Chains A and B, each alone.
Chain A
Amino acid sequence: MVRWPAARSESPEEVEREESGGKRQAEEEEGRWGRMLPELLGEIVRRVDAGGEQWPQRKDIVAYAGVCRRWRDTARGIVRQLRENGDITFPSSLKEPGPRDSPVQCLIRRNKSNSTYCLYLGLTESFTDKGKFLLAARQFKHGAHTEYIISLDADDLSQGSNAYMGKLRSNILGTKFKIYDSQPPYNGAKVSSSRTSRRFTSKQISPQVPAGNFVIGRVSYKFNLLKRGPRRMHCTLQCPSAKDTTGEGDSPKSKAHNPGTTILKNKAPRWHEHLQCWCLNFHGRVTVASVKNFQLAATEDASQPSGIGDQETVLLQFGKVGDDTFTMDFRQPLSAFQAFAICLTSFGTKFACE
């Protein structure tokens, strides 16, 4: 019989087992699942993952990753390997770039009574199906400024909570916005505000990450003098390059990175000669005309090796499909968090008229 390393001092359950016999076996077996070979644990994770490609089944991977350190390491490693295409598994996935080839389709639901916006991952084609909850935001007025606090918990929207993900802050006119991330975009970043916040982050379960707010993007609006055309949007974002894989226990080669700058501008509608109107093709994902609707394409793209954006591919699309329901489709190099923050600015501009 294989002898396993002796366990630590006995818990009440172990004492009970002792009394009923099999003491040595219990001691030997205590914790051996937690110490299983990483390769075998990896194979188990793969099978759990294979059954849970969609939400809500994906919560099984999160449960697996919460069992003990070794299980967590293998889960994060396997998910990183299998899910390079931007799937959302952990809260930290919300700050990682989306997929390269096709957008993630999300829904934003607005609750006017408490100025709250909730972001959901779309699980079906329908705009009325619930979806998987991702993030919540609430609008707060600070004097003349407006802020949107972004959180993992729709019931807990304070900066001091461990659910806090970041915020959006607008200037007085509602024409310029700054996006703040609760975590630094890269090692060595300086904290932009000394406001106290969390003791730890949800990205890495480690207390070493400095608390604070880090500017990771800016959005500005310029309005057509004629007030008839769309607003002109300009976004600058710090995005990790697509090869970046930050997180716990990652390989050395992925660490030497700097964030790249991505610059997005909204696509102008084209004049449709036949229909005699300005048109933006939202491919069925936007069904209600609104000045809030937009499509953003990149002039500079951190995920491209050249750094140049093709100005054609829509990297973020936002638009109305119901009174308080909007779609949000995004792809790399944007993360769900960044996309959500940019969409919130569309609610925040004062000159919107629907």
Chain B
Amino acid sequence: MAKMIKLVSGDGAEFEVEEEVAFQSKIIKDIVADADDVIPLPTVSSKVLIQVIEYCRKHAAVNSFPLSPSSSAAAAASSSSSISYSKPVSDPALRAWDNEFVKLNNSSLFDIVIAANYLDIEELVDLVLETVADRIKGKQAQEIRRQFNIENDFTPEEEEALRRENSWAFQNN
């Protein structure tokens, strides 16, 4: 019988998951090491926690039974997330699953970024940040602001200098 860990979301919902699924989160792994099997996660809503658990379940299965040496090596070798960029997921089926997983609106994506960062689930952080970067590339600042609902807090003078900077960067002669 697999060892179960209980996760409790900010809005009071409880989720019982296998240890290996929960351990995708380094934070949870560290807490459980102190022999505590009920993990309160006050800053994560149940809606977001469900999605995160779904991701962890999928990736736990792959990490336990790697299809290729490189995918488990990548998982094992991952240390501080400050140096790493996205390591490509080597299993194409998993990659396809990941791509489906991140077909979320920006608001949901934001929630996942925050939760994954808080729980320290490196591959998930990589995945969502890469997704955000892809949504930013190829766009001009105004479009990015509109899409991500960001306030323009530059002064009018700064705006003018930015216009100049952008017209230089996007110049096509």
- Interface, chain A (partner B; CB < 8 A): 1-2, 29-34, 36-37, 39-40, 43-44, 46-48, 50-52, 57-60, 62-69, 71, 90-91, 118, 133, 152-154, 162-163, 199-202, 205-207
The answer to whether A91 touches B137, judged by C-beta atoms less than 8 angstroms apart, is: no
Q: Is B86 part of the binding interface, using a Cβ–Cβ cutoff of 8 Å?
A: yes
The answer to whether A91 touches B164, judged by C-beta atoms less than 8 angstroms apart, is: yes
Tell me the dominant secondary structure on chain B's binding face: helix
Q: Which of A2, A30, A52 touches B43 (beta carbons < 8 Å)?
A: A2
Question: In the complex, what residues of A have CB within 8 A of residue B110's CB?
Answer: 29, 32-33, 36
The answer to whether A202 touches B161, judged by C-beta atoms less than 8 angstroms apart, is: yes
- Measured in the bound complex, the distance between the Cα atoms of B173 and A62 in whole Å is 18
Question: In the complex, what residues of B have CB within 8 A of residue A47's CB?
Answer: 85-86, 129-130, 132-133
Say whether, besides A29-B149, A44-B132, A154 and B173 are in contact (CB < 8 Å). Answer: yes
Q: Which of B161, B167, B171 touches A205 (beta carbons < 8 Å)?
A: B161
Q: Which of A32, A91, A153, A162 touches B160 (beta carbons < 8 Å)?
A: A162
- Measured in the bound complex, the distance between the Cα atoms of B151 and A34 in whole Å is 7
Tell me the dominant secondary structure on chain A's binding face: loop
A-B contact pairs, 12 of them (CB 8 A): A33-B106, A33-B150, A47-B85, A47-B86, A47-B132, A63-B144, A67-B148, A133-B171, A153-B168, A201-B161, A202-B164, A205-B165
The answer to whether A162 touches B161, judged by C-beta atoms less than 8 angstroms apart, is: yes
Number of A-B residue pairs, CB cutoff 8 Å, is: 138
The answer to whether B129 touches A40, judged by C-beta atoms less than 8 angstroms apart, is: yes
The answer to whether B11 touches A1, judged by C-beta atoms less than 8 angstroms apart, is: yes
Question: In the complex, what residues of A have CB within 8 A of residue B137's CB?
Answer: 48, 51-52, 57, 60
Question: In the complex, what residues of A have CB within 8 A of residue B132's CB?
Answer: 44, 47
The answer to whether B129 touches A2, judged by C-beta atoms less than 8 angstroms apart, is: no
- Interface, chain B (partner A; CB < 8 A): 10-11, 43, 45, 81-82, 85-86, 106-107, 110, 113-114, 117, 125, 129-130, 132-133, 136-141, 144-145, 148-154, 157-158, 160-162, 164-173
- Measured in the bound complex, the distance between the Cα atoms of B125 and A57 in whole Å is 24
Q: Which of A50, A59, A71, A205 touches B169 (beta carbons < 8 Å)?
A: A59
